[in-house]
Every structure is written in C-alpha cells, then in structure tokens.
Chains A and B, each alone.
Chain A
C-alpha cells in the first residue's frame, strides 16, 4: 500500500485527495505554484513544496519539477487530480521510470485513450456507435481536436467558407496543457444528453459499473450541473451503453477509475464520445449515491489491490452537483455557505482568499442528495440561497435560474454551448 503521496494539483481537488489520504493514513505532500502558497491544500497537507512560478507551464505542467519534488520529499506515489497532467501518458511513464506510482491508469493505457480519434476508431471496430465523420464540403460540421480537453478545441463550422477560420481558431483555443494539433471532422448531431458511465477497473480485469451521470447542463462545452442517476433516458438504452462501456474497457485493458462519455441525440441514438482516464470533477455525485470513495478506489487499485466492488453498483438516491465559479478575481468575503443534511461542499476557499487569475475559476462544488429528485432540486435551491460570498461575482444566480426551469425539473433540459 502507498505510504506517501505527492499531490500534483491545486484547488478543491487537492483538498479532496488529502481528505481521503488522511482517512487511509497516507502522508501527503502538496506540490504548489508560487501564487498558491496560501491555498487550503498547502495548509492541510503534511508537507508542501513549491514547484515553480504561477503560470501552469512553470508548475502544474512542469513534469521534471514535479517528479523532482516527489523524489525530494520521499513520496512513493503521486496523484495528478484532474486537468493539468492527469491524462498525460508521458508524465505517467516518467513517474513509473522514477519508481513513483502514478495514481491512475498505466501510461500505455493513457497513450491509447488520449487520442480521441484513435479511441473512436477502436470503438467503431467493436461495433459501438460513434458520431459519423464528415468532410469539409458537407457543412455544418464539427471540428474536434484529437487531444482537446473537454470542450476546448471544438468548433462548429456552419458554412464551407468559414472552415479555415474555424480550424485556425480551434487551434488557438487549445490550452497549453494539451499538445498535438490533430483535428478530425464530425457530423453535427441533434444533441440531447451527455451521459457519463463511471467505472472502476483493477489490474486483474474486474470491472464495476457505477450509476451513470447526466452532464447535460454545460456552458461552452464545460459541465456546470451534473446529476446521477440519469432520469430521462430509457433504461434499455442506458444498459446498452453500459454494455458497450464494458467492451471498451476490456479492449483497452483499463486498470483504474475512469469514465466513458456518451452523447445521446433527440432520436435516442447514442454515440461514444471519449474515455476520461482520471477522476472527474463530478465524481462527487457518484460518491453520494453509492457511498463509495472514488479517490480511495484509485489509491487501492494503483497500490495493486483488487477491485472489491460488485459488477454493478446501483444508486441509493439522487444527487445533484452545481459548480460554483467566480466570474472575476477578488478577495473573497465569505459570509455563509450551505449547511444541513445531505449537503456536501467540496471547496478550498476561505474568508479572505484571493482568487488566482492563472487557473480554473471553480471555487466550490455544491452537492445535494435525496431519495427523490424533486426534493434534491429543492435542497439545491435552498443551498444556493445560503451562499453569501462578496468580493467576486459568481454564477450562483445562473445556477439557480437553471435548476428552476420547468424543463430542468422534468429532466429534459440540456444546454451545451452558445454554438448549439
């Protein structure tokens, strides 16, 4: 079993990883950038080590600095969190070479899953539905990056004449965290839902499928509100997706916690989108409805332990997560955060914390759960009303307005981006 973990991440996920490590008796070291010295993770971890300047490329994306820090602090493992280097096969490989356990899938698996175009081909060969390819003469179409992260790098081309411009802007919009400039073209589908199949797989081939998540409330293709279980997709369709997921996991030989993402169109066809080979932001809702600690699962499996979960884990209740983000930078004046039964807040902010302009604006994840979905929505409304944060503008009103929508309440709402 792992003894000491280097956390190569920041913000709420760094805090989240520390929480589990504390319970498991694992020592923690937080690798932080210069401006992150005042974060909650640095305060909570057993040790903290500065790995470079504030810009991500100097710190959280700086592979040599991170590995050096792990070695110097005597860590036997590292947890990459999400984003940054979490799905970088080179990083996983070099960690392994340095004798450090990468908490996540092996580097050869990451190498396979990282290329979206290649994964799509793999899925197609297995008979799993994928979004049909397009060529640039048949607009509208979608340009996707093989290595794009989340919605980044996705561009919709309405007219043939816009193609070159869209391709250029797709390239520009890619963050420094993702290398490669391979793009592929897909037909536009009548998008209805974005479904995540969460799974846990070990090194011995045992696969467990956890309740699926509905992540259909997005902004610029970035998820904003997620929930589980999925409420408005036929059960048979979900089961098919789960079966396809298992096929794909087996084919890839995936050996840790991951997610297979599917899109469903309005005609109830589903399409494989990609594999996320890391812990996801919205893993919290799955934890709430199953009682499983997914970070613990990651650590146990990375330590070589067997997956002891049943093949199919069902949801005991319904959980919703809202991502609270800052719209500007400022010193936070926190007067109140939600409280009460079945209310979970994953955050790293504290009174007087100054939001850093270099990183993701997520400041807290508000998660509520209840036996009934409608009651969970009511709880979420109250939770959002309890949030009193001054000093920076947040998206709390937009979140509230979304979950108050008639179509959200019946489960049919979806929104992905302005281009839709």
Chain B
C-alpha cells in the first residue's frame, strides 16, 4: 500500500469520526448493520447485545437464562473500578450472557461473551455461568452454540480464575457424552482462557473473518519469548491452516450455517429403500488405457464430485492437531436425502491446484482429519462416504516428520471401530497406503476405469526394473485394474463409468443402495461384519 493509500484511509477514518459514524478500522469505509465493512469486508468487533439484536431481527427468539449467576466479585479481588466502568459502558452485569435461542425452528442454548467487559475474561462468576449453561443444555437435550470473544483468565482473581477452565471442561465432558452438538464461533479476539478450555472444543469450530485466535497474547510472545512472529500469526486463516478451525464464515452467513449444521447433527436420518440400482460393469479396459485415463489432467477430480453429489456441502477443515490437508475434502452434506459425512481425496485439475493439493498425496494430517470426521459421523449417526483418488500417501519429509506410517495405521484402526456405516468407492487412482488407509469400509467399489495398486506404475518400474519410464508390457503384471481387483475378490463391485453426471448418479445410487443393505445390521453386527471383511480380505 502506498503512503497516499494510507493517507486516504486515515482521512476516511477521521471524516467518519467527525460525522460520528462507525468506520472500518482497516480501510475507513462505511460499515453495514452487521459492523462489516461495505468496502473491504473487514469484520469489526460486535458487542454481545448487538448479536442478540441480530438474532431477533432475523426472526429468532432469545430468552436470557442464568442471569442470577452474574455475581460481582470485583470487591473481593480488588478490581471494582474497572468492573464498574465496564458495567456502565456495556450495560451488562458480567462478560457472559447465556440464553435459549429459537431460530428457524432450531432451539439451542447460546453462550455470548462480551469482549468490552473486562476484556471478556473468565471469572469465578462467569465460569460458573458457562458451566451451568452446559449443564442446562445437557439436562434439556439442547445443542450449545457459543460466541467466544475475549481474553484469558481474569488475572485479578488469580488461580480461582484459572480453574474455571477445568470446571467448564468438566461440564463440557458430560455434555459431549450425551451426544449433543456444540458449535463454537470464534470472534475477534479469542484467547487462552477460552480457547484452551471450551472455545476450540466445538464439534464444529467456526471463526469470523479477521479474528485473532490464539493461546498466548501477541505481546506475551513478543516481549517474553522474544520470538519474531509472522504478520498473520494467530489470525483466523493461520488457525485454519493449523487445523484448529473448520471454517471461516462471514458474519452474515453464520446464523444460517449454524442452522444447517444443527439440521445435520440431529441424529435424525432417513434411508429410503426405493432407490434405483447403479449399473455394474466388468472392467474390461486395457491397463495402458486405464493408466492413460487416470493420468489425464482433464479427468474428474474429487471436488467435481463433491459439488455434483451435494447441493450445499459444508466443508469441514483441519485435523485439530497441526494442519489442514488440502488434498482431502471432508465435511457434511446430504445425498438423496441422506445426511452424510464425506471424505474425498482431491487431486488438482491443473498445475496450480496440484501444487496446492500436493498432487493429491494424502499427508498424515489428512488421515488424522479423516479420523476426526469419522468420529464426528459416529457421534451424530451419519454414514460415511469415502471417495478414493490419490497417487499415494505423501512420502516426503513433511510427512515423515509427522509420522505418516502411524497416521495410516491409525486411520485403519479407527475406521475398523467407527460405529456407523462406511462406503468406499475408488473413483480414480487407488494407490498404496494412500488408498488403503481410507479403504476400511463395509462395502468397497471401483469405477471400471479406476486403479488400485500397491504402488504407482512409475515407482514400480523404477524399483523392480530400475527404469524410470513406465514399461507398458509390464503393466499387466501389476494387476491394478478394476477387473483384476474384482477377480481377486478385493472389491465388491465394479461401477460402470461415463460422464461426470453419470458417475455422480452411479455413486449416489451405489451409496444409497449399500446403506439400505447395511441397514439390516445393528451397530455390533456391522462392526463384526467389517472386522471379518478385513480379516478375510484376501480370501475369495
């Protein structure tokens, strides 16, 4: 940005101040009624009361609960001056508001934190209030939606403030055991006391754009650790990339996203029996033709299927440990009226996408993300659809440093135990550990032009014959075509392949039909059956 651009912004901000009109702190332009900049979309901090106002404006209902837990301890801990100041400027009696909301027929308990009240810090009083909110929701069988804001622990209250984090988590544990959904909305700023207790423990973590989300304050990192940090340190994008968030959602879409998520996470799924059947095939294609198709850049990739299969997929990101693997699309959506969790390997369609997606090579964090999504599906009784298309698990330095081998085996072990039906389909290239780690399922099908191999043909040639180019005459020996796999009894069906539309329909029908077949098993039978399938995978 040039000096003149900066001057322009400075002038805009000043002029807004003169007119007593709120202005974007980023570019100085006007804000809309959601306090979002009309020009640059910068999201200004929103007071808790204003959020309630917006819920009501959108036809929602809000009834305050647990107000009796707003106890003033500021005299005991000697900070009454600040406490009084914030009471006056916010019109609140503590930094947390709890209420029962009804929006579009969905009822949930909401926890709103006010950053402008004692920086939204956790205190003895509001710690108790949040704990009570989770207990109330557990007792009444209601989901919880938290709008997190503010800092850590109220330091004036010392260790009493600190233990609030554990106290809240104890009630969150009971709440989770009941299988109720918790959606956490992280707003600017959310730090330690909140993030390290319940803030990032949502079944779904949503962040508002340009929020700062972190453990320790930036000043702390700079002044005490003397660490140089990047400009985007603790930004929502940074946390998303670090695997801590599912999505960044604009303020105008948050309420709808919450409603959509609650509609999926309500354990109320229907599987209809009158579905048409997919068309099967013998997979008689020649290996070199198959290979050529697979390697074709204009070939359909995971993201094409995602948006054809689901009208409005909700993509969930992050392994909640360290990274979001972009080569694996995971999330929730509906196929033929069936609420579904999806795990889709996604290569790139061009060089740029391929670089972004690591050429579709799943990283350890990808397998860990898949495990997380499978567990989410299990908690909310959603079947899992897995689409496989990857040249293999990532074998490089970044993967080894994060224990790729362990990630693959953990993925297999976890999928073996996941208490919900799993349908896997090889849509393109099923290769080595990258495919195997996500092949553990109740049914496994292949498209007629797909492959499933122990290694890529290139590597096969290089290792066995010491020749880096693919040797066409040796391809047949690799036995990677759908027909080969079917003949070995390693896949259940070969799906006929055609256009993207046709293939989508095939997946839809195969998925629905499989679920109908699997629905006659209860969970124990399903897991026993899955165990036996895998235990006897190589026996025809």
Contacts and interface: CB of A to CB of B under 8 A. Distances in A.
Contact of A388 (B7, B14, B17, B18): B7
A385 B11 contact: yes
Interface stretch (A105-113, A168-176, A342-350, A396-404): A396-404
A335 B3 contact: yes
Nearest to B18: A404
Nearest to A333: B3
Contact of B14 (A335, A390, A397): A397
Contacts of B4: 388
Contacts of B11: 385
A335 B4 CA distance: 9
B17 A401 contact: yes
Interface in A382-420: 385, 388, 390, 397, 400-401, 404
A390 B4 CA distance: 12
A413 B400 CA distance: 72
Contacts of A385: 7, 11
Q: What's the interface size class on A, roughly?
A: under 10
Interface in B1-52: 3-4, 7, 11, 14, 17-18
A401 B3 contact: no
Nearest to A390: B3
B18 A401 contact: yes
Contacts of B17: 401
Nearest to A335: B3
A408 to B, nearest CB: 11
A336 B17 CA distance: 23
A385 B13 CA distance: 12
A339 to B, nearest CB: 15
User: Which of B11, B14, B17 counts the most A-chain CB atoms under 10 A from its CB?
Assistant: B14
Contacts of A397: 14
A394 B14 CA distance: 14
Nearest to B2: A335
A336 B4 CA distance: 10
Nearest to A397: B14
Contacts of A401: 14, 17-18
B3 A400 contact: no
Contacts of A400: 14, 18
A336 B11 CA distance: 14
A16 to B, nearest CB: 28
Contacts of B3: 335, 388, 390
Nearest to A387: B7
A390 B11 CA distance: 14
Interface in A319-358: 335-336
A397 to B, nearest CB: 5
Contacts of A388: 3-4, 7
A259 to B, nearest CB: 32
A385 B28 CA distance: 15
A385 to B, nearest CB: 6
Contacts of B14: 397, 400-401
Nearest to A402: B18
Nearest to A386: B7
Nearest to A405: B18
Interface string B449-489: 00000000000000000000000000000000000000000
B171 to A, nearest CB: 48
A336 B3 CA distance: 10
Interface in B389-446: none
A164 to B, nearest CB: 29
Interface in A170-214: none
A388 B18 CA distance: 19
B426 to A, nearest CB: 60
Nearest to B10: A397
A385 B284 CA distance: 76
Contacts of B18: 400-401, 404
Interface in B102-155: none
B196 to A, nearest CB: 37
Contacts of A335: 3, 7
A101 B3 CA distance: 48
A400 B18 CA distance: 9
Nearest to A388: B7
B323 to A, nearest CB: 39
A246 B11 CA distance: 45
A401 B18 CA distance: 6
Nearest to A398: B14
Interface string B357-396: 0000000000000000000000000000000000000000
Nearest to B7: A388
A332 to B, nearest CB: 14
A271 B18 CA distance: 34
Nearest to B13: A397
Interface in A285-338: 335-336
A398 to B, nearest CB: 10
A310 B2 CA distance: 52
Contacts of A390: 3
A363 to B, nearest CB: 18
A400 B14 CA distance: 9
A404 B14 CA distance: 11
Contacts of B7: 335-336, 385, 388
A385 B11 CA distance: 7
A344 to B, nearest CB: 22
Contacts of A404: 18
A420 B18 CA distance: 23
Nearest to B4: A388
A404 B11 CA distance: 13
B516 to A, nearest CB: 70
Interface in A35-72: none
A401 B17 CA distance: 9
User: Which of B4, B7, B17 counts the most A-chain CB atoms under 10 A from its CB?
Assistant: B7
B7 to A, nearest CB: 5
A385 B14 CA distance: 10
A299 B175 CA distance: 88
Nearest to B17: A401
A404 B3 CA distance: 24
A143 to B, nearest CB: 32
B392 to A, nearest CB: 54
A397 B10 CA distance: 9
A112 to B, nearest CB: 46
A60 to B, nearest CB: 35
A337 to B, nearest CB: 13
A336 B7 CA distance: 11
A335 B8 CA distance: 14
A228 to B, nearest CB: 25
A138 to B, nearest CB: 36
A88 to B, nearest CB: 41
B60 to A, nearest CB: 40
A290 B17 CA distance: 36
Nearest to A404: B18
Interface in A82-134: none
A102 B6 CA distance: 48
A388 B9 CA distance: 12
Interface string A366-396: 0000000000000000000100101000000
A388 B14 CA distance: 14
A390 B10 CA distance: 12
A249 to B, nearest CB: 42
Contacts of A336: 7
A400 B11 CA distance: 10
A204 B57 CA distance: 80
Nearest to A401: B18
A336 B6 CA distance: 13
Interface of B: 3-4, 7, 11, 14, 17-18
Given A385-B11, A388-B3, A401-B18, 13 more contacts: A335-B3, A335-B7, A336-B7, A385-B7, A388-B4, A388-B7, A390-B3, A397-B14, A400-B14, A400-B18, A401-B14, A401-B17, A404-B18
9 contacts: A335-B3, A335-B7, A385-B7, A388-B3, A388-B4, A397-B14, A400-B14, A401-B17, A401-B18
Q: Across chains A and B, which 4 residue pairs bring their CB atoms closest together, nearest first?
A: A404-B18, A397-B14, A335-B3, A388-B7
